[in-house]
Structure 1
Amino acid sequence: MSVKHALSRGLELGRSLLQLGLFKPAGRVAAKLRGERLRVTRSTRTVQPQTFLPARFRFFRRSLSGLAAQLQSAAFRRGVGGGAPRNRAVFLAFGVGLGLIEQQLEEDRTSAALCQEIQAVFRKKKFQTPLKSFTLGYKLEDYVIGKQIGKGCNAAVYEAAAPFAAPAESGKCSLLELSQKETDDDNKKAGPLRFSATPSFPLAMKMMWNIGAGSSSDAILRSMSMELVPACSQALTEEQGEFALDGHFGMVPKRLTAHPNVITVYRAFTAEVPLLPGAQEESPDVLPARLNPLGLGSNRTLFLVMKNYSCSLRQYLGVCVPNRMQASVMLLQLLEGVDHLCKQGIAHRDLKSDNVLLEFDSTGCPRLVITDFGCCLAEDLGLKLPFNSCWVNRGGNACLMAPEVATAVPGPGVMIDYSKADAWAVGTIAYELFGQPNPFYSSEGLESRTYQEQQLPPLPASVPDDVQLVVMLLLRRNTRKRPSARVAANMLHISLWGKRVLASLDRVRTDGLKDWLLCQSAVVLLKGRGSGGSSVEAEIQRCFLANLDLEDLRAAVSFLMYGQEQWKSLLAHYTV
């Protein structure tokens, strides 16, 4: 470090001398900093290093505060003893600088402790299931099955009901009721709104199509075990739970804990395939031979029992256009759900609007849940997948496959990192939330393998700049420049509810953030005791406070404060 730079740093950081008493005698200042009596001559007492440490490591045994005091004292002694002005300035500058570094570290420790305390408060309250707990329902005969409400490439979903599974009182409204409340023609599209969960069928039953897995329960559970990742602890019977379930790579898949933005499977069991309504017309090839002589399916398959939601996100966006606030909250919920998956080492790998279900709270705000975990990566490998062969399954939905996954080339030692792949998919879904076609779906759309960021279509001008910035960052090709789902969610939280504290900060500091976090904690706790306000907003605010991390929060603030200048040219391109 040059002398000029050291002096400038000393002048910048020397403001602390005013707090210590600049006009006191220099000897008293040095003595105060050292915490011992004044010594004008060189001290004869030395600190002996421990026997198991080499002498060259004795510097690391001293704290920053002690080192700062020694440097400041050395500057004073050199000044009294007639040392060179250059040496005095260097010693004083470094001494004051290290003293302030120690002060900043102490503030960081205080802020981190505050985040941990807030985490502890909001993690104590577990997510409450929307259905009342029940102990039965491990047989197909326990349910009344209604009409088909959905169909995918490997399963069909039917509405279901059971006398022991009454819905909990949540005060939510259906999509049909929501359409009657809408009065602003600008916020809706023409067309019938016919998607709603029937109150008499609070459950949804997913029947997997079993082709090639055999008819034994053990073989079925082993083959379809990834569908059980979001299953609760009571989903399987004790006998079924004893099966050594194998995932894609022969290991037991992980189980997700409950989260408001992730689907929960309440029951999972195997049974003989029945002839359900519409099966002969919709999917005759997957039926067993006893129901269709030309069918290829097995006699038994896996059934999953979940909550019956109003509709999928794709169905909702086909008939409604959410307003700016609702779209931002929906985007935030997807990021919260993806962050929950990443924290538990699970990658969904098939995130799209068809695999997101929603319902509505009492205020009409959509609540989103991520579903369909058949393609997920949920094993001890974590979020990285060995890609040593082209036969390794990289996930579903090639259109919304992140660039680092789509461009991966198999080879010895190659690993695909999925830690930010689902967050990239959320960035593409954001276009749909704000009324635009997904740029990676249209016939002349972009390809994740080859697109350039400048080719991304603009978002509407009504979308806030902070939200546009989040979407742009999520769609960065370089994973090092792409924020994680947690950091992106923090950016939206601060943008929606902490705009004032962000405007009051001139740089990344923790004092203003600490005050805002305490206020947010009090507000969320008070909301939990009352009945007013949006329960969806209260849920995502609790998720934010339960996952506080000082470094992630600072990263989000840095993106928001300095991102506008850094991405100024890109923002000009994306704005209509």
Structure 2
Amino acid sequence: MSVKHAISRGLELGRSFFQLGLLKSGGRVVAKLRAERFRVGPSVRTVQPQAFLPSRYRYYRTSLRGLAAQLQSGGFRRRFSGGSPRNRAVFLAFGLGVGLIEQQLEDDRRSAATCQEIQAVFRKKKFHSPLKPFTSSGYKLEDYIIGNQIGKGSNAAVYEATARFAQPKEREEVSSPVQVKVDEEKIQEVRSPACCSLRNFPLAIKMLWNFGAGSSSEAILKSMSQELVPAGPLALKQEKEQITLDGYFGILPKRVSAHPNVIRVYRAFTADVPLLPGAQEEYPDVLPARLNPAGLGNNRTLFLVMKNYPCSLQQYLQESAPSPRHGSLMVLQLLEGVDHLCRQGVAHRDLKSDNVLLEFDSDGCPRLVITDFGCSLTQSDSSLQLPFNSMWVSRGGNASLMAPEVATAAPGVRVVIDYSKADAWAVGAISYEIFGQQNPFYRAVGLQSTTYQEKQLPPLPSEVPADVQLVIRLLLRRNPDKRPSARVAANMLHLSIWGRRALASQDSAGMRKLADWLLCQSAVVLLKGFGGSGGNGVKAELQRSFLSSLELEDLRAAVGFLFYGREQRHACILSA
């Protein structure tokens, strides 16, 4: 081995050894960085690298720079005190490699601080729904005028409605905050002309079917508590908030904060089941005996009041074909919604195209919201791991879109199903529908999540951007350990759509350039927000979601995946 090769090898070993050992606990390193960077006090203490080293490396706590100097001086001493040239070169280069870590730590500190500062600014800007018809009313069914049925599932029927207590001027304001000509045209395409206008019925009321929950408000709320996951802070009357809501899994179901890509429940109350339009024809068996002698339902049930959307994603895709640009933004919105739920300890577990609602912003771009939380799993520790010790434990909803780790799980002692990346996998499958293909896991194509191989996945249309195709392929990996989280996948799309020029390289210089781009992007988004209309579109909402969720490790993982995809494409081009 030549001396030049030995020095090169020593540099490589020096960096890789210390990156593997000293920087392996990346989460703890970043946490330390955050704590020291944002500590409030009269003076700001400079954070030293040795403070981040794991306890098992106590010998190296003197500082990396000092350690590098010791190793280098030891290398020079060995130069004149004997030893083979190869060993002397490797030892010296090992010290030089350790010295390079100091600069990398400094770059990481700066990048982490930049991400945290941006995140702090955008997390203060809460998402506010444009619907504001509710004050202290709306807790009774009599407060609403109910129109035609607009949807029906396996456990509920949905009707269009309007509030009796809203003044005519208010109704006009809240009916459709982004309603413009393009919106009306789209609605005519995807919705039946028989349906009443959204301007007259801006609300939707979901009536749950009550088979075995009893007829007391307490029993109903406990049995159907998962439906309250997207409920706002004033959705229930104050006295009802005191009820212990056990849910299916014996824990208090979470209330997720507002997000532009997650449905919001404005009111939730129990009431006697009424005879609504189409009830006798559409769902006679679930009616109570007082309305249908052969009915099996209870007298009272739960009602949820939400915004009325023009159509579901499934209905829209049956009539329209979004452009590749809009399709990419639609996939990104689903990932942002799933990430928001995961961060708050919620797994939807029934994500499919008819559980996603859709409207249009002022530019005609589809805005998606995730709805129907009846099968959701909520956990206080946000681990999203469900003990699966019996076959009677529910895995979730739609069996066709269950992630492989969920579908293949076998009940047993200490068996746990991890749902942390299951909804992200479902987004990958739904993406095929968004881009005009059949969902590969529905019967028409024939793949099953329990047995499919990744090479069996059908190709996406050639006009779909390469980075979007990469994200979808990664989301559909069988092994969840090799699958990106919803946050990392969303970051990949954000960087691909808006930050392509910032991805010049994957080294520290590239990360510094990316941090500079993030600062510029933040300024642009803030200025648009102050301008008024520029901050209400889908693009602005996505950018705010991205900037409010910045984490250095997630960002670095996204960059790594994108470079991996580019290398794979480059290799394919060379081989061709």
Please report the TM-score for the alignment, with normalisation by the length of structure 1: 0.85
* Aligned-partner Cα distance in 2 for 1:501–1:250: 47
For the Cα contact (< 8 Å) 1:266–1:304, is it kept in 2?
yes
For residue 95 of structure 1, report the CA deviation from its aligned partner. Answer: 2.2
**Counterpart mapping for 1:490-509 below 5 A:** 490-502=491-503, 504-505=504-505, 507=507, 509=510
* Corresponding residue for residue 256 of structure 1: 256
Instruction: Rate the CA distance shift 1:75–1:379 in 2: closer, same or farther, 3 A.
Output: closer
**Counterpart mapping for 1:473-484 below 5 A:** 473-484=474-485
* Corresponding residue for residue 217 of structure 1: 217
* Corresponding residue for residue 17 of structure 1: none
For the Cα contact (< 8 Å) 2:229–2:253, is it kept in 1?
yes
* Corresponding residue for residue 38 of structure 1: none
Letter in 2 for 1:97: G
| More off after superposition, 465-474 vs 92-101 | 92-101
For residue 329 of structure 1, report the CA deviation from its aligned partner. Answer: 0.2
* Corresponding residue for residue 41 of structure 1: none
For the Cα contact (< 8 Å) 2:440–2:458, is it kept in 1?
yes
* Corresponding residue for residue 447 of structure 1: 448
Deviations 1:218-273 (A, max 9, x none): 11001100000111111111111111111112221111111110011111100111
For residue 380 of structure 1, report the CA deviation from its aligned partner. Answer: 3.4
Q: 2:177 aligns with which of 170, 193, 199?
A: 170
Letter in 1 for 2:314: R
For the Cα contact (< 8 Å) 1:71–1:91, is it kept in 2?
yes
What SS does the corresponding residue of 1:7 show, helix, strand or coil? helix
For the Cα contact (< 8 Å) 1:349–1:422, is it kept in 2?
yes
Backbone CA RMSD of aligned residues: 2.8
Letter in 1 for 2:555: L
For the Cα contact (< 8 Å) 2:424–2:486, is it kept in 1?
yes
For the Cα contact (< 8 Å) 1:498–1:516, is it kept in 2?
yes
What SS does the corresponding residue of 2:482 show, helix, strand or coil? coil
The answer to whether residue 283 in structure 2 is matched with residue 276 in structure 1 is no
Which sections of structure 2, spanning at least 5 residues, go unmatched? 15-54
For the Cα contact (< 8 Å) 2:11–2:97, is it kept in 1?
no
Deviations 1:549-573 (A, max 9, x none): 111111111111122334779999x
* Corresponding residue for residue 286 of structure 1: 286
What SS does the corresponding residue of 1:375 show, helix, strand or coil? coil
Structure 1 outlier segments of 4+, above 4 Å: 1-6, 9-14, 55-58, 76-88, 191-197, 567-572
Deviations 1:181-229 (A, max 9, x none): 9xxxxxx99x977778511111110000101111011110011000001
For the Cα contact (< 8 Å) 1:197–1:308, is it kept in 2?
no
* Aligned-partner Cα distance in 1 for 2:365–2:196: 15
The answer to whether residue 357 in structure 2 is matched with residue 350 in structure 1 is no
| More off after superposition, 196-205 vs 430-439 | 196-205
* Corresponding residue for residue 32 of structure 2: none
* Aligned-partner Cα distance in 2 for 1:194–1:554: 51
For residue 56 of structure 1, report the CA deviation from its aligned partner. Answer: 9.8
* Corresponding residue for residue 464 of structure 1: 465
* Corresponding residue for residue 339 of structure 1: 339
* Aligned-partner Cα distance in 2 for 1:177–1:255: 33
* Corresponding residue for residue 121 of structure 1: 121
Structure having the higher helix fraction is 2
* Corresponding residue for residue 36 of structure 1: none
For residue 81 of structure 1, report the CA deviation from its aligned partner. Answer: 7.2
For the Cα contact (< 8 Å) 1:175–1:196, is it kept in 2?
no
Which sections of structure 1, spanning at least 5 residues, go unmatched? 15-54, 182-187
Percent identical across equivalent pairs? 69
For the Cα contact (< 8 Å) 2:143–2:165, is it kept in 1?
no
* Corresponding residue for residue 327 of structure 1: 327
The answer to whether residue 571 in structure 2 is matched with residue 564 in structure 1 is no
Instruction: Rate the CA distance shift 1:217–1:70 in 2: closer, same or farther, 3 A.
Output: same
What SS does the corresponding residue of 1:510 show, helix, strand or coil? helix
For the Cα contact (< 8 Å) 2:9–2:90, is it kept in 1?
no
Instruction: Rate the CA distance shift 1:371–1:460 in 2: closer, same or farther, 3 A.
Output: same
Instruction: Rate the CA distance shift 1:391–1:567 in 2: closer, same or farther, 3 A.
Output: farther
For the Cα contact (< 8 Å) 1:209–1:286, is it kept in 2?
yes
For the Cα contact (< 8 Å) 2:529–2:535, is it kept in 1?
no
Q: 1:535 aligns with which of 534, 537, 540?
A: 537
What SS does the corresponding residue of 1:357 show, helix, strand or coil? strand
* Aligned-partner Cα distance in 1 for 2:57–2:13: 27
For residue 447 of structure 1, report the CA deviation from its aligned partner. Answer: 1.1
What SS does the corresponding residue of 2:118 show, helix, strand or coil? helix
**Counterpart mapping for 1:129-148 below 5 A:** 129-132=129-132, 133-148=134-149
Instruction: Rate the CA distance shift 1:175–1:218 in 2: closer, same or farther, 3 A.
Output: farther
* Aligned-partner Cα distance in 2 for 1:295–1:494: 54
Letter in 1 for 2:405: E
For residue 464 of structure 1, report the CA deviation from its aligned partner. Answer: 1.0
For the Cα contact (< 8 Å) 1:159–1:204, is it kept in 2?
yes
* Corresponding residue for residue 202 of structure 1: 202
| More off after superposition, 538-547 vs 514-523 | 514-523
Instruction: Rate the CA distance shift 1:444–1:470 in 2: closer, same or farther, 3 A.
Output: closer
* Corresponding residue for residue 518 of structure 1: 519
* Aligned-partner Cα distance in 1 for 2:195–2:458: 30
What SS does the corresponding residue of 1:161 show, helix, strand or coil? strand
The answer to whether residue 15 in structure 2 is matched with residue 8 in structure 1 is no
Letter in 2 for 1:545: L
* Aligned-partner Cα distance in 2 for 1:286–1:175: 39
For the Cα contact (< 8 Å) 1:196–1:311, is it kept in 2?
no
Larger radius of gyration: 1
* Aligned-partner Cα distance in 2 for 1:316–1:180: 9
Deviations 1:344-391 (A, max 9, x none): 111000000000001111111111000000000013363111111111
What SS does the corresponding residue of 1:98 show, helix, strand or coil? helix
**Counterpart mapping for 1:281-320 below 5 A:** 281-320=281-320
For the Cα contact (< 8 Å) 2:10–2:97, is it kept in 1?
yes
* Corresponding residue for residue 49 of structure 2: none
For the Cα contact (< 8 Å) 1:75–1:87, is it kept in 2?
no
* Aligned-partner Cα distance in 2 for 1:437–1:528: 38
* Aligned-partner Cα distance in 2 for 1:66–1:237: 63
* Aligned-partner Cα distance in 2 for 1:256–1:56: 40
The answer to whether residue 557 in structure 2 is matched with residue 555 in structure 1 is yes
What SS does the corresponding residue of 2:540 show, helix, strand or coil? helix
